[in-house]
Structure 1
Amino acid sequence: LCHPRYLHVLESLLEPERVIIFRVPWVDDKGEKHVNRGFRVQFNQALGPYKGGLRFHPSVNLSVLKFLGLEQTLKNALSTFSFGGAEGGSDFDPKGKSDTEVMRFCQSFMDELFHHIGPNQDTLTGDIGVGFRELGYLYGQYRRLTGEFECALVGGRNLLANSNLHAEAAGHGLVYYAKHVLADLNRDIKGLRCLISGSGKLAMHVMEKLIAVGAVPVSLSDSKGFLLDDEGFDGSKAMFLKDMKSQQKPLREYTRRYVRAKYFDDARPWGEKCDLAFPCATQNELNHSDALAIISSGCHVIVEGSDMSCTAEAIDVLRKSKIIVAPSKAANAGGVAVSGLEMASKSNQMHWTGEEVDTKLQELMRDIYQKSVAAAAACGHSKDGPEALVHGANVAGFLRVAQAMLEQGCV
C-alpha cells in the first residue's frame, strides 16, 4: 500500500472521470414554470459500468455528489461484483409535490440524462428523495426515449426489479454486518438497546430487522427532532410507524398512540442510553459533540447507515474512547449486493425469492466484513480495534480499484 505507484493512483482516483450538469425545466400543477439543476458524477469505471444512487433533495450540489461518488466507488469495490462508482441527483424537492408534478420533473430530468446511462455504461438506483414512484417515472421516460427495456435503473417496483427484498437489502445488510462485528467481540445482538437516526426506508428496514433478530431499537428521527420509545419498538409498533410514513405523518404523531414514548424537538438521539448506534439519516450527521454524547450513553459500536455518518472530528473522539465504527462503505453495501444479483439474473428474466436473496445477502455481507478485517490486519490493526474496520474497508476498496486502474493505464 505504501508503494509510490499507489500515490499516483490516489491522485487520479480523487478526480471524477466525468461530471454532467444540466438544467431541468418543469411545470407545476398551476402552470408555473420552474428550473432545477441536474447532476451525474461518473466517478470511476475501472471495475465496470458506473453504478450509484440518484438523490432529489434541496441540499444536493456538486460537492456533495463528488463525495458520494467516491464513497460509492469504494463501496462497490468491496462487493464481489464488477461495478464502477457514480452518484447523481438534483436540488429538486419531491416533498409536497403532487404525483403529476414529480412525473413532469422526472421526465424532464431523464430527457437529458438518458444520453449518458445504460446497462453497460451507468446504472441508477434510488437514494434520498428517489423511491419507487420516482424510479418508475424515470424508467418509463428512459424506455420511451430509447425504445429499450433494459437494466438502466434498479430498485423500482414490478418490472424494474427481478428480486424480492431489494428495498430492504441495505437495512438488513447493515444488521447482518453488525452481527459479524459483535460476534468477534463475543457478543450477541439479542437484547441489545439500539439507537437509530432517520426515518426513511433505510432506518425503517434497520428497525424491522433489529426487531426480527431480537434487538431492542428505541429511536428514530426526522428533521424536527427525534422519537424515543424506552420500551422499544416491536412488530405492531413498526407496522404503525410504516403506516404513519406512508401517510406522510410526522414522527411526533407516534406519541398520540403510544403515550409513554417521547418526542424531543431540535435534538438528536445520541445521548440516550444504548449498546449500538445506527446513524441512518445523512452524511456528517454525527459530529464532535454527538460523539461525546454517545460515549456517555454506553455505546460500544457505531454502524454507519448513511454515507460517512461520522465527521472526521467525531471519528477522532470515538477512536480515543475505543468505540468501534463500522463504516458505511462496508456496512451499507447490501443494496449494491442485491442490485448485482438482480443485474446478473435480469437477462434470463429470473425472479429471486425473498429467502434466496436473504441467504445470498448474508453471504455477501460476511465476505465484505472478512475483507475489511483482513485488510486491517495486513496494516497492523487488531480486528477489535476502534479504527480497524474503517481502515480495512478503505484499504480493501482502494486496492481493488487501484489494481484495475494500473492494469488499464488509467493513472
Structure 2
Amino acid sequence: MPYVHDTLARLQKSSPAQTEFYQAAEEVLESIRPLLDSDKRYREASIVERIVEPERQIMFRVTWMDDQGKIQVNKGYRIQFNSAIGPYKGGLRFHPSVNAGIIKFLGFEQIFKNSLTGLAIGGGKGGSDFNPKGRSDAEIMRFCQSFMSELYRHIGDTIDVPAGDIGVGGREIGYMYGQYKRLTGSYEGVLTGKGLNWGGSLVRTEATGYGAVYFAENMLNSRNDSLDGKTCLVSGAGNVAIYTIEKLYQMGALPVTCSDSQGTIYHADGIDLPLLKDLKEVRRVSLEEYVKAHPKARYIPVADYPKDGHAVWRFEAQAAFPSATQNELTAADAKALLANGVVCVSEGANMPSTAEAVDLFLDARIAYGPGKAANAGGVATSQLEMAQNASMTRWTFEEVDTRLQGIMKGIFERSHETAKEFDQPTNLVLGANIAGFRKVADAMIQQGCV
C-alpha cells in the first residue's frame, strides 16, 4: 500500500536512526491496512501522518553529584505523543539503553495500549540513560531530584501523568514525587506508582503481571481451554515477571523459568516465588544465587545462551510470558516454543517478540496476545490510581483487582471482536491495533486539525 509505505519512508527521514520506532510504526500501520482501505476518512484527515509524529518531544540534561563528589551528566526525555482521548500517560524508564528512538517506540505503543483500556488516557513515555544498578540510595535520590527539576514544568494531573517502568520503582517514584511537591507546592496525583500511604493504589505493583495472566486466560477460555495445569515459561525477574509467576500459581499453572540480565533459571518443580522476591525485591542480587537454595534448579549464564535467541524459551511448556524487554524473543525462539508445545503467548513486556517471531505465532494460529493488549494492566491500574487520587478515596485490593480483571476482559473482547470484524478471528495483533487506532483516530477527526 503506497500510502503506508510513503508514510514510513518519510518517518525514517524525519526521525533518523530510530530502529525500534520504525519497527513499532510499521507493525501498527501494516496491520491497520484493512481499516484504511475500508474507511477513507482517516486518509482524508491525514490521521496516519499525524499519529506517527509526537505532539511534543522534550529532551534535557540531567546533572547530579555522585557519592565521590563528582558531577555526572545524563540525558532525560519525555515524549508526549497523543492527547486525543486524555492526558498523556506512560512510564519513565531509567536504563543505559534509553535513547530518543526507544522512548518514541514506547510512547507510540502507549497510544494504542491506553486506548484499548477504554479509559480516558493518552499516550506518552519518558526516561533517561541513567543506570540505577550499583548506585546508592543517596545517588538515586539526587538523580531523581535533578530529573524532576526539569520534568516538573511539563507535567500535571490533567496534563501528563508519568508512571514507573524499567529501573523506576516505588523508591524512584517517591524521590521524584517529593521533588515535584517541593517545587510546585502542590499535592496532586501527578505520578502513579506512589507509596500506599501517600496516594498509591493497591494492586499497582502486581498489575502488569496479573493483567498478562488474565489476558492469557481470556484467550484460552475463548478456545475452551484454560491455564490450569499448564507449564509456563516466564522471562524477566522484575515486577512484571514476579507477579506473572504469582498469578500463574493462583490460576493452577506451573511457572518453571525466570531470567535477568546475567542468566536464566529453569526449575522443573516450579519457581520458588518467595526466594525470587527475596533475591530481586530485597537483596537485589543475581539469579545465580537461586541455585544455592535449589541445587536441582539449572542456571544458564548469558554466555551459554543459543546464538540465535534466549535460553528461557528452549524448554517444554504450553504457555509463554515474555516479560523482560523489547525484541527478546527471536524467530528461532518462536520456532522452539511451537516445537515444544506452546499454545499461548501473552506478552508482559513492550514489543518483546521480533516481527519474524510474531509472524510465526500468527501463522500457527496459537493464542497470541501482543503487548499493547496483554500488558495494559499496568497502565490501566495507574489510571485507577488517578481516579482514586481525584476523588480522595482508597479502594480495597479486591475492588482494584476486580476492576483490573474487567478491564483485561474488555481489552480481549474488543481485540477479538475487531479481529472477527475483519475476518481474521485469531489475529489479535490486527484486532488490537485497529481497535486502539480507531478510537484515537475518531477523536482526532472530531477535534479538528490539532
User: Normalising by structure 1, what TM-score?
Assistant: 0.96
Per-residue deviation, residues 106-140 of structure 1 (Å, max 9, x unmatched): 11101111110000110010000000110000000
Q: Is the 1:162–1:349 Cα contact (8 Å) retained in structure 2? A: no
Q: Which residue of 2 aligns with 1:69?
A: 107
Per-residue deviation, residues 282-305 of structure 1 (Å, max 9, x unmatched): 011111221122122211111011
Q: Is the 1:38–1:90 Cα contact (8 Å) retained in structure 2? A: yes
Sequence identity percentage: 50
Pick the aligned partner of 2:152 from 107, 111, 114: 114
Q: Which residue of 2 aligns with 1:258?
A: 294
Pick the aligned partner of 1:311 from 338, 354, 361: 354
Per-residue deviation, residues 179-227 of structure 1 (Å, max 9, x unmatched): 1011011112111000000001110000001011110000001112210
Number of positions where the alignment pairs a residue of Structure 1 with one of Structure 2: 404
Are 2:223 and 1:185 aligned? yes
Structure 2 gap segments, 5+ residues each? 1-34, 306-310
1:129-148 correspondence runs (5 A): 129-148=167-186
Which residue identity lines up with residue 346 of structure 2 in the other structure? V
Pick the aligned partner of 1:328 from 368, 371, 394: 371
Q: Is the 2:88–2:122 Cα contact (8 Å) retained in structure 1? A: yes
Q: Is the 2:194–2:201 Cα contact (8 Å) retained in structure 1? A: no
Q: Is the 2:88–2:161 Cα contact (8 Å) retained in structure 1? A: yes
Worse-superposed segment, 154-163 or 76-85: 154-163
SS of 2:391's partner is coil
Instruction: Please state how far the C-alpha of 1:410 moved relative to its aligned partner.
Output: 3.5
Q: Is the 1:376–1:389 Cα contact (8 Å) retained in structure 2? A: yes
Are 2:77 and 1:44 aligned? no
Q: Which residue of 2 aligns with 1:282?
A: 325
Q: Which residue of 2 aligns with 1:242?
A: 277
Q: Is the 2:196–2:202 Cα contact (8 Å) retained in structure 1? A: no
In structure 1, what is the Cα distance between the partners aligned to 2:226 and 2:330? 28
Q: Is the 2:193–2:201 Cα contact (8 Å) retained in structure 1? A: no
1:153-302 correspondence runs (5 A): 153-233=191-271, 237-245=272-280, 246-266=282-302, 267=305, 268-302=311-345
Q: Which residue of 1 aligns with 2:428?
A: 389
Q: Which residue of 2 aligns with 1:408?
A: 447
SS of 1:120's partner is coil
Instruction: Please state how far the C-alpha of 1:251 moved relative to its aligned partner.
Output: 0.8
Instruction: Please state how far the C-alpha of 1:399 moved relative to its aligned partner.
Output: 0.2
Structure 1 gap segments, 5+ residues each? none
SS of 1:87's partner is strand
In structure 1, what is the Cα distance between the partners aligned to 2:129 and 2:279? 26
Per-residue deviation, residues 4-35 of structure 1 (Å, max 9, x unmatched): 33232111101111100000000000000110
Q: Which residue of 2 aligns with 1:5?
A: 41
Q: Which residue of 1 aligns with 2:123?
A: 85
Worse-superposed segment, 67-76 or 7-16: 7-16
In structure 2, what is the Cα distance between the partners aligned to 1:74 and 1:104? 34
Are 2:388 and 1:345 aligned? yes
In structure 2, what is the Cα distance between the partners aligned to 1:391 and 1:345? 33
Q: Is the 1:16–1:43 Cα contact (8 Å) retained in structure 2? A: yes
SS of 1:315's partner is helix
Describe the shift of the 1:101–1:162 C-alpha distance in structure 2 as closer, same or farther (beyond 3 A): closer
1:351-362 correspondence runs (5 A): 351-362=394-405
Instruction: Please state how far the C-alpha of 1:356 moved relative to its aligned partner.
Output: 0.9
1:361-400 correspondence runs (5 A): 361-382=404-425, 385=426, 388-400=427-439
